[in-house]
Amino acid sequence: MPQEDEIIDLRSDTLTQPTREMKEAMMMASLGDDVFGEDPTVRQLEGKLAGIFGMEAGMFCPSGTMTNQIAIRLHTRPQTEVICHKNSHIYLYEGGGIMSNSHASVKLLEGDLGKLDAEAIRQAINPDDDHAPETALVSLENTMNKGGGSVYQLEEVRPIRQLCKETGLKLHLDGARIFNALIHSGERAHDWGRMFDTISICLSKGLGCPVGSVLLGSQAGIRQARKIRKALGGGMRQAGMLAAAGIYALDHHVSRLEEDHERARAIAAIMGKLPHVKATLPVSTNIVIARLDKISPESFLEKLAEKQIKAVKFGPDQIRMVTHLDIEDRHLEALEERLANWKMTL
Ligand SMILES: *Cc1c(COP(=O)(O)O)cnc(C)c1O
């Protein structure tokens, strides 16, 4: 049982601490200068992930924002346009980087649980005339953070791939939590690798690494991406210490994601019964979004904080909770106990 005052921190799966075994793997890593392409551990991580997805090459970066932004820069030119969901991470949470890094425009689409379909994308492609920015790229997100960790089925992506092929658009996947998606759907990474020009994958979320994301793509694409990374200041030297954590996580922290998904479902069940919670979004993976009624997220979060429970505001009437490596059954039991018979007084 967590102590009475132990904080149950459900704000994000980026909060995970590296395990002792992961730190040992980091200590033992063989190192070189990765800007010279000579860090054997970085190369091993890049090759391993590319192999898992059946893609040609990979590039290690400090963050998922950087892998996404490099992909966008790779696939666009100034004055072209990116199509994405209005709630996508690349648009909402990357500091306006599409504009400042790539000088590109954005077309935002609607779609249930943060997902796009081929027909909506087809309608959003600009005609070839002087007024409109040329559509260059479609970007999907799987799992979809603001969709409550929702998951695309491969069959939903196939027509989008087909459309992009017909119309000459590039297709990028923000796969920050792609392993959560694959664990949920049971689909094969190779089948996903075939669908996209580039895939960005975070190691620092549910996989439990302290730092790191990898961009996957073609040999030629990744070669160009390395030049963009250099210009953004993302070339790292003995980065093998960080890459070793990624290799460890791929070997040990993927199949356990199912536990995070089960605990997220349990949390949604607990949250769903609380006063002022109108509904929770359907839980597929490790994210729980609760929609509030007659209370602000700020006030609701304050009430939770009094019980030593942390979550984050996620829109004008929503809060988010995320499960991860460091949330165990004892935390769930404590959560349930602390919120039992909760009479919230405003
Ligand atoms: C976390 C996240 C990223 C990348 O974030 P960084 O903090 O820059 O690593 C990208 N997309 C989604 C959907 C995310 O959740």
Q: What CATH number does residue 49 fall under?
A: 3.40.640.10
Q: What CATH number does residue 261 fall under?
A: 3.90.1150.10
For the whole model, what pTM was predicted?
0.96
Count Cβ atoms below 10 Å from residue 305 Cβ, excluding itself: 12
CA of 204 to the centre of ligand 1 (A): 9
The verdict on 126 and 230 lying in the same domain is: yes
CA of 201 to the centre of ligand 1 (A): 9
Q: What is the pLDDT of residues 164-203, one digit of tens each?
A: 999 999 999 999 999 999 999 999 999 999 999 999 999 9
CA of 282 to the centre of ligand 1 (A): 21
**pLDDT reported for residue 5:** 79
272 falls within a domain: yes
Q: How many structural domains comprise the chain?
A: 2
Q: 319's torsion region: left (phi>0), alpha (psi -120 to 50) or beta? A: beta
Q: How confident is the model at residue 340 (pLDDT cuts 50, 70, 90)?
A: confident
For residue 344, pLDDT beyond 70: no
Tokens of 132: 């409109």
Asked if 143 contacts 179 with a C-beta cutoff of 8 angstroms, the reply is no
Please tell me the distance from the alpha carbon of residue 335 to that of residue 290, in angstroms, as a whole number. 15
Final residue belonging to a domain, choices 252, 281, 302: 252
Final residue belonging to a domain, choices 221, 252, 283: 252
Q: What is the pLDDT of residues 230-278, one digit of tens each?
A: 999 999 999 999 999 999 999 999 999 999 999 999 999 999 999 999 9
- φ, ψ for residue 253, nearest 5 deg: -115, 10
Q: Which atom of ligand 1 is nearest to the CA of 174?
A: 11
CA 189 from centroid of its chain's CA atoms? 16
The verdict on 136 and 283 lying in the same domain is: no
Adjacent-strand bridge partners of 172: 139, 198
Amino acid letter, residue 84: C
The verdict on 95 and 241 lying in the same domain is: yes
Average pLDDT score over the chain = 96
Q: What is the pLDDT of residues 269-314, one digit of tens each?
A: 999 999 999 999 999 999 999 999 999 999 999 999 999 999 999 9
Per the listing, tokens 């730092």 go with 211
Q: Which atom of ligand 1 is nearest to the CA of 145?
A: 13
**pLDDT reported for residue 174:** 98
The verdict on 246 and 260 lying in the same domain is: no
How large is the average pLDDT for residues 138-162? 98
The verdict on 231 and 314 lying in the same domain is: no
For residue 206, pLDDT beyond 60: yes
CA of 189 to the centre of ligand 1 (A): 19
Which one, of 145, 241, 203, lies nearest residue 16 by Cα?
203
The verdict on 199 and 337 lying in the same domain is: no
What is the CB < 6 Å shell around ligand 1? 63-65, 68, 89, 141, 145, 174, 176, 202, 204-205, 213
Is there a cis peptide before residue 143, judged by omega within 30 degrees of 0?
A: yes
How large is the average pLDDT for residues 30-41? 97
Q: Which atom of ligand 1 is nearest to the CA of 62?
A: 9
The verdict on 171 and 301 lying in the same domain is: no
Please tell me the distance from the alpha carbon of residue 173 to that of residue 198, in angstroms, as a whole number. 6
Residue 6 or residue 142, greater confidence: 142
Out of 11, 199, 202, give the residue to mutate to test ligand 1, the one with the largest number of ligand atoms within 8 Å of its CB.
202
CA of 224 to the centre of ligand 1 (A): 22
Please tell me the distance from the alpha carbon of residue 87 to that of residue 97, in angstroms, as a whole number. 15
Q: Whose CA is nearest to atom 2 of ligand 1?
A: 176
Q: Compute the C-alpha angle 112/320/53, nearest 5°.
A: 65
For residue 218, pLDDT beyond 90: yes
CA 301 from centroid of its chain's CA atoms? 23
CA 143 from centroid of its chain's CA atoms? 6
The verdict on 146 and 205 lying in the same domain is: yes
Please tell me the distance from the alpha carbon of residue 209 to that of residue 226, in angstroms, as a whole number. 22
The verdict on 197 and 210 lying in the same domain is: yes
Domain that holds residue 324: 8-16+256-345
Per the listing, tokens 């075939």 go with 194
Final residue belonging to a domain, choices 233, 252, 271: 252
Asked if 7 contacts 308 with a C-beta cutoff of 8 angstroms, the reply is yes
Query: CA distances (Å), 230 to each of 44, 69, 234, 240, in order?
Result: 20, 13, 6, 17
**pLDDT reported for residue 169:** 98
Query: CA distances (Å), 122 to each of 119, 161, 163, 276, 315, in order?
Result: 5, 12, 7, 40, 28
For residue 61, pLDDT beyond 60: yes
Q: Which atom of ligand 1 is nearest to the CA of 63?
A: 9
**pLDDT reported for residue 342:** 75
Count Cβ atoms below 10 Å from residue 254 Cβ, excluding itself: 17
CA of 293 to the centre of ligand 1 (A): 28
